A and B are shown apart, each in its own frame.
Chain A
Amino acid sequence: MSASVQTLVSQPYKYGFTTDIEADVIPRGLSEDVVRLISAKKNEPQFMLEFRLRAYRKWLTMAEPVWPNVNYPPIDYQNIIYYSAPKTQPKKLGSLDEVDPTLLDTFEKLGIPLSEQKRLANVAVDAIFDSVSVATTFKAKLAEVGVIFCSISEALQEHPELVEKYMGTVIPIGDNYFAALNSAVFSDGSFVYIPKDTQCPMDLSTYFRINNGDSGQFERTLIVAEAGSSVTYLEGCTAPMYDSNQLHAAIVELVAMDDATINYSTVQNWYAGDENGKGGIYNFVTKRGLCAGKNSKISWTQVETGSAITWKYPSCVLVGDNSVGEFYSVALTNHHQQADTGSKMVHVGKNTRSTIISKGISAAKSKNSYRGLVKIGPKATGARNYSQCDSMLIGDTSSANTFPYIQVQNSTAQVEHEASTSKIGEDQLFYFAQRGISPEDAVSMIISGFCRDVFNKLPMEFAAEADKLLALKLENTVG
């Protein structure tokens, strides 16, 4: 449309650098021996090895799902490295001073300072580099109120009984192909335990970084909120730019007991591939929260801007009476990105309520699908759901789809679904231009407006970042 927009150079992916660090890498491929090797390297208790082996055997009997509205060449699971850890990492960290300075620099460059002086004031961070957690900040301070925040590897050493009690209870090992794979080979992730009647004194955050070009990342997060407790959790992720595709198959399990609240926010900015669709992360993630107790609440907020392929449906199983599930999502695709994302709300208990607000934005040649299930079980008397799925198209070559599935087995339930599709048209941009507002600013205002319902749900520092991120991702899309 305008010369000024056409000459705008697309903002390069600024997290695309690689950290040069010697890694402890196991040979490519997956077998029972590899599963045993991973477990042995992490010195895991016997139950964990058995869990992994059960998952691996189950995985062998399963097939990759073909129903998502995405296309990619077959993944060669024998050509992936399933474990890669920075070599200099000591077995157990006494303090942050022992962390390899190269790693601290890496996270500093990513805007996640881990050192004592510079760390984020009110957020505790668990930083994960390839397969392992390199540092967790504010652990001691959190421990004062009984909050456990550590890597899952550490939790397996220090609190094996908690991990054994909850892991796999929300997402069983055979839940789906990628969940089974993760359950067999997961390398690290975060563990959070909030004791009874405790409001977690600060936000908790995990930052995931894939560095090795040939390794997959399979992290696993488990958050348990006991009765009357609450926690806000943030997750961020980036990866270097490679020509090849890296597999990321993660699991997040949340458990909320009576009157507990978990808010889980994600800003996903994995490398998306270049503008011709070369490279980028395959992001196959299973996230599910169990509202086990009455009046419990789990809220997912996600801003998905990265990855070549996104396959992700953060879900809530509402078992406790009066429990609440929420899903707020902005998914943006540009160039050749493909996203098939949405949510599942499964109502089991009485008077359970759920809300789904999904905003999909597709630009260039990308494909963006919302897929969601609302299921009201036979005993979910008085259950209510409200779903709203809005799609916005930028240009003529992108696509947006909505696949809602609604299953109602209780006649007292109220389920509402609204959907809309809009397009940023020339005429809208001309209206802005006629008031002196440039096309770039116009697009960014329209997009922020479109996403406001979701951004309002993000913690403040995340909301500003998400807004900026979308603007960057969309540069050069008008014209």
Chain B
Amino acid sequence: MINQNSDIILSVSDLHATVDGTEILKGLNLEVKAGEIHAIMGLNGSGKSTFSKVLAGHPDYTVTAGEIVFKGQNILELEPHERATSGIFLAFQYPLEIPGVSNRDFLRVAFNAHRKARGEDEIDVFDFDDLIEAKLDVVKMDAAFLDRSVNEGFSGGEKKRNEILQMALLEPILAILDETDSGLDIDALRTVAGGVNQLSTTDNAVVLITHYQRLLDYIVPDYVHVMADGRIITTGDKALAQELESRGYEWVLEDHRAGVTA
């Protein structure tokens, strides 16, 4: 929901980043306010996923210019786990499997790491169990999932639901969902989108990274950005996504090229 008076949560300016010496982000600008839902769309290789990893601090990427200000703080110097506990959450496109570590333990340790970072006491196993079981409803997950190893042997849909469960638990201020819709059947998509909608409030913000407009039928964005060649080249509302769906990306890219050369 757009409210011009809301606080700015995220402000990215002229962001350049490389991986293995190749520049992927080439001057990206983005501002996200509390309560807003942003969608970032674009073709493969446009830099969408790279942007999400750079925000979260993945060690493979090097920021060569620009800044990322989150809640008024430049976070480029923060370690990935410090960015996480300060309120940035990334729902992974391919959630990792962690054999031997139970989902319950993983979630509890993550939750307590967040509490510790806020200067709060860690909560014990029993209180945590009550808390997490209440959250399971958000993504319609069975409690049996908690006792399986993290993502091990999970179906694609189960992995994505598990990501949203983590989001429900950690209550981030900025949630970035990287292609969360990929590989989901329609029921799983509805569940995941329903979870995100439940968690979206006037105090937090969501950035959806997606190829398709399909997800945006369920999570309605306030802004739709199109990324190409490491930059956001155009911004519109949900109508832009619908137009992209029916006409493809070529016309936006052409307009952009015309604009750049003009």
Interface residues of A (CB under 8 A from B): 1-4, 422, 426-428, 430-439, 441, 445-446, 448-452
Contacts and interface: CB of A to CB of B under 8 A. Distances in A.
Contact of B98 (A428, A436, A438, A441): A428
B23 interface: no
Contacts of A439: 81
A445 B109 contact: yes
Interface in B105-146: 105-106, 109-110, 113-114, 117
B164 to A, nearest CB: 13
B108 to A, nearest CB: 11
B110 A2 contact: no
A393 to B, nearest CB: 14
A448 B59 CA distance: 24
Contacts of A1: 59
Nearest to A426: B59
Nearest to A425: B96
A427 B110 contact: no
A430 B58 contact: yes
Contacts of A451: 100
A235 B256 CA distance: 73
Contact of A445 (B84, B92, B101, B117): B101
5 contacts: A431-B95, A435-B106, A436-B81, A436-B110, A450-B100
Q: Which of A430, A436, A450 has the most CB of B within 10 A?
A: A436
A426 B60 contact: yes
Given A3-B79, A4-B79, A449-B149, A434 B100 contact: no
B101 A446 contact: yes
Contacts of A432: 81, 98, 110
Contacts, number: 79
Given A2-B79, A4-B79, A445-B101, A431 B109 contact: no
B170 interface: yes
A253 B146 CA distance: 44
A44 to B, nearest CB: 49
B80 A434 contact: yes
B110 A449 contact: no
Q: Which of B84, B90, B99, B100 has the most CB of A within 10 A?
A: B100
Interface residues of B, number: 30
A421 to B, nearest CB: 12
Given A1-B59, A427-B96, A434 B101 contact: no
A97 B56 CA distance: 62
Interface in B52-107: 56-60, 79-81, 84-85, 89-90, 92, 95-96, 98-102, 105-106
A446 B60 contact: no
A450 B92 contact: no
A431 B98 contact: yes
B100 A435 contact: no
A435 B79 contact: no
Contacts of B149: 449
Given A3-B79, A445-B106, A449-B149, A434 B98 contact: no
A452 B84 contact: no
Nearest to A5: B79
Contacts of B92: 431, 434
B166 interface: yes
A432 B107 CA distance: 10
Contact of A437 (B56, B58, B89, B109): B109
Instruction: Name the 10 nearest CB pairs between A and B, nearest first.
Output: A449-B100, A433-B80, A436-B113, A435-B110, A449-B101, A431-B96, A436-B84, A433-B81, A436-B85, A436-B114
Contacts of B100: 446, 448-452
Nearest to A428: B96
Contacts of A437: 81, 109-110, 113
A435 B59 contact: no
Q: Which of A428, A434, A441 has the most CB of B within 10 A?
A: A434
Contact of A450 (B89, B99, B105): B99
A477 to B, nearest CB: 16
Contacts of B102: 449
